Amino acid sequence: MDGINSNFSLGSHTEPTNQNLNIVFTPNALVRRYEYTVSKDGVPIKSESIDQVKPVNIVLEETGTYQIKVQTFDYYNYKTIIESGIYKIDKDPPIIKLENESMKMKIGTPLYPMADVKAYDNQDGDLLNQVTTNIDELNFEELGIKKLEYTVTDQAGNTTTKSMTINVVKNDTFGVILIQLGMIIALTTIILAILSYRRSVKLEKRIRKYSIEPINDNSLSLFDKYYNQYCNLLSKISKSLSKSVFLKKYANRYDKYVGIMGAKTRTGIDFVSAKFLIAFIFVMIAVISSTIQLELMNPYEIVFPFFLGFFAPDIIYISKYKFHRRHIENDLLQAIIIMNNAFKSGRSITQAIELVMTELDGAIAKEFRKMRSELSYGLSIETVFERFADRIKLEEVNYLTASLSILNKTGGNIIKVFSSIELSLFNKKKLWLELESLTSSSKLIMYVLFCVPILFVIFVSLVNKEYFLPFFTTPLGILLSFVIVIFYVVYIICVRKIMTVRM
C-alpha cells in the first residue's frame, strides 16, 4: 500500500460551479512513477505519464462532470489505483423563453407575468420556479412603454436576464363598441340598399313585358349614379381646398395630368382632392381593421395609412403619364413620316395634320385633333405647334415647332426639313432602344433595391405589428425614423442620378 498517502488537493466538488477548478495531485515518497487519466462525462479526454516524483497540476475549465484516475508504481513496480471524487463545472447560462417579447396592454387589465414563460438549464433542468421579475418596480396604471425583466440563476451561479416590452395604452372599450355599432349600422344599411336594388330589378323584369319601352332612355345605372355622387363630392372638396394658397401651388404640378386621367379631373386641384379622399378611405380601412381587433388606433398609427393613401395615387398618375408620353414618343416618328409623305405629294400642313388624325390612333391622334380644332378656330400654325410643344414637352416637338416657325417666316424646302427631322428621330430612337437593352438589368436591380426596405418593414409588421412601435412612440425612435427616411430618400435620388442616361 505504497500509495496510501498520495492525495488530491481537492477530493471532490459535487456542487456545480462556474469557476475553473485547479486540482493538484501529490504522490508520496515511495512512488517511483505514476499515470493519470481525466474523464469528462465518462469519456477519457486526457492522459499523461509522470516519471518523476513530483506533484501535477490539473486544470478543469469546460462545462461537464469530471473524475481523475491515477495509477502509481513503487520501486517494486507494485501498482496502486487512486480515484478522485466528482467535479462538476457548469458555465452554460440558463435559458429563458418568452412567447412574446413585446405586447400591448390596456390600462387597468390584469397582467400574468409568468404566463407562456419557460426557464431551464442544461444541468439543473426546469428553473421556472426560480425566475424573478421587476414587476413590483413598474407602474402599469400609467400610459407608456414598460420593460418587464425576467432573471434566473442556476445552481452554479450563472445568471440570465431577458426583457419584455409592454406598451400600456388607453382602455377604449367603450369607444370600440361605439365604432363597432356604427360599422354594424353602416353594413346593415348597405345590405338593405343592395337587397332593395335587387328587389327593384326583379320587379322591373317582371313588369317589363307589360310596359312600353321609352324612345330615349336617359336613366343612369347604379354605377353611374355613385360615380356622379363621387364627382360631386370631389368638386365640393376642390372648392374648399382651392381657398388655400399652399394647396393651389401644390396642385400646379398635377396640371400636366389633366386630360390623361379622365374628363372629370379638369384642374390640378381635383387631383389633390382625390388624393385627400383616398387618404381618408385608407384611414377608415385601418380604423375598421383595428376595431375588429378590439383596439383603437393612436395618432402615430393613423399617420402611416394617411400618407400611404395620399401618395398612392401618385404611382397611378405617374405611370399613366409615362405611358401616355411613351405612346406619343413612339408614334411621333410615324406622324413625322406621314406628314413628310403628305408634303411630298403636294399637300398643305393642315391637310398633313388631318392625314395623321385618320392614319393613327391613340394619344398622338388626340393631340393632332386638338391641333386641327385650334386651326379651325383661327389660330396660326406657329401658335398651334407651340401649344402642342407646351403640352407634350418633348425635345423633338420643340425642334419641329422651331423648324415650322422658321419656314413660315423665311421660307424654304419643308420636305428637306422634315426628312432631316425624320432621320434624326429614327437614329435617336434606335440609340435609345440600344441603351434600354444595355441598362435593363441594372434598372431591375435598382428597383429591387428600392423595394426591399419597404417590403421588409411590411412583412415584419405583419408578423409582429409592435416590432417597429418604438420608432413611433419614443423620442429617440422618432428621431431615428426621421434620419432613416432622409437617408432612404437621398439614396434613391443618388441612385437615380447615377442611372439616368441623358441623350
Q: Residue 116 and residue 323: Cα distance in Å, rounded?
A: 55
**Structure confidence at residue 262 (pLDDT):** 61
**Structure confidence at residue 209 (pLDDT):** 66
Which strands sit side by side in the sheet containing 117-121, from one edge to the other?
95-98, 117-121, 125-126
Number of H helices, E strands in the chain: 12, 16
Q: Do domains 2-89 and 95-171 have the same CATH topology?
A: yes
Side-chain half-sphere CA neighbours of 229 within 13 A: 7
Residues 6+ apart with CB under 8 A from 166: 102, 103, 104, 105, 111, 138, 140, 145, 146, 147, 148
Pairing of strands 7-8, 79-83: unpaired
Helix (H) or strand (E) holding 17: strand 13-17
Q: Residue 48 and residue 395: Cα distance in Å, rounded?
A: 89
**Coil, helix or strand for 194?**
helix
Helix (H) or strand (E) holding 495: helix 475-499
**Coil, helix or strand for 138?**
coil
Domain spanning 2-89, CATH architecture: Sandwich (2.60)
Q: Which of these CATH numbers, 1.20.210.10, 2.40.50.140, 3.40.50.300, 2.60.40.10, describes 95-171?
A: 2.60.40.10
Helix (H) or strand (E) holding 208: helix 173-208
**Coil, helix or strand for 486?**
helix
Query: Are 461 and 467 a contacting pair, CB within 8 Å?
Result: yes
**Structure confidence at residue 265 (pLDDT):** 60
By CB neighbour count within 10 A (0-12 exposed, 13-18 middle, 19+ buried), where does 502 fall? exposed
Sequence spans of domains, the chain: 2-89, 95-171, 172-203, 246-412, 429-503
Which DSSP symbol is given to 336? H
Query: Are 400 and 363 a contacting pair, CB within 8 Å?
Result: no
Nearest to 306 by CA among 323, 287, 325, 320: 287
Task: Tell me the residue length of the chain.
Answer: 503
**Structure confidence at residue 210 (pLDDT):** 67
Which DSSP symbol is given to 252? G
Overall pTM > 0.85 = no
- Cα–Cα distance list, 330 to 340, 425, 433 (Å): 17, 10, 11
Which DSSP symbol is given to 92? P
Q: Residue 372 and residue 366: Cα distance in Å, rounded?
A: 10
Nearest to 499 by CA among 427, 454, 447: 447
pLDDT in tens, the chain (503 residues): 334 567 888 888 888 888 888 989 888 888 888 899 999 988 998 888 888 778 888 888 888 889 999 998 888 888 888 888 899 888 889 988 888 788 878 777 788 888 888 898 888 888 888 888 888 888 888 888 888 899 999 888 889 998 888 888 776 666 666 666 776 777 777 777 777 777 777 777 777 666 665 555 556 556 667 667 777 888 888 888 888 888 888 888 887 777 776 655 667 888 888 888 888 888 887 777 766 665 666 666 678 788 888 888 888 888 888 888 888 877 888 888 888 888 888 888 888 888 888 888 878 888 888 888 888 888 888 888 888 888 877 777 888 788 777 777 777 777 887 788 888 888 887 887 787 777 777 778 878 888 888 888 888 877 777 777 778 777 788 888 889 889 888 888 888 777 766 65
Here the cell at position 393 is 414637352
